[in-house]
Amino acid sequence: MELKSNEWIICPAIWIDDGKKHNNQPENILTGYVVYGIHIVDIFFRMSSRGIGKPLNIKSLKLSEVQEGYYTNYKRFVKEWIDY
């Protein structure tokens, strides 16, 4: 997914698609939830402090359920961007 005009990357994010609808998610995420932070370590801290995956059990997540990407100023989750 390419960035829109005047769209910027704010921070790294992880999208975990558990097949459920969650409130207050990026506009392009219909199921699952996005956790974002300044660093990847912040993301895992946020997940554990909110009880998501408590204890954080990476082995229970299927690779198809987890996507690494970025959160943008347009409140979107993008998996990659093109640097012009």
Per-position pLDDT tens, the chain of length 84: 667 778 888 999 989 888 889 999 998 999 988 988 888 777 877 776 665 555 555 556 666 678 889 999 999 999 876 554
Residue 57 pLDDT: 56
Domain count, the chain: 1
* Tokens, residue 63: 């690779």
Task: Tell me the residue range of the domain where 67 lies.
Answer: 9-78
In a domain, 61, yes or no: yes
Under DSSP, the state recorded for 46 is: H
- Tell me if 2 is assigned to some domain: no
- 1 occurs within a structural domain: no
Residues 6 or more apart from 47 whose CB is under 8 A from it?
A: 35, 53, 56
* Residue 84, in any domain of the structure: no
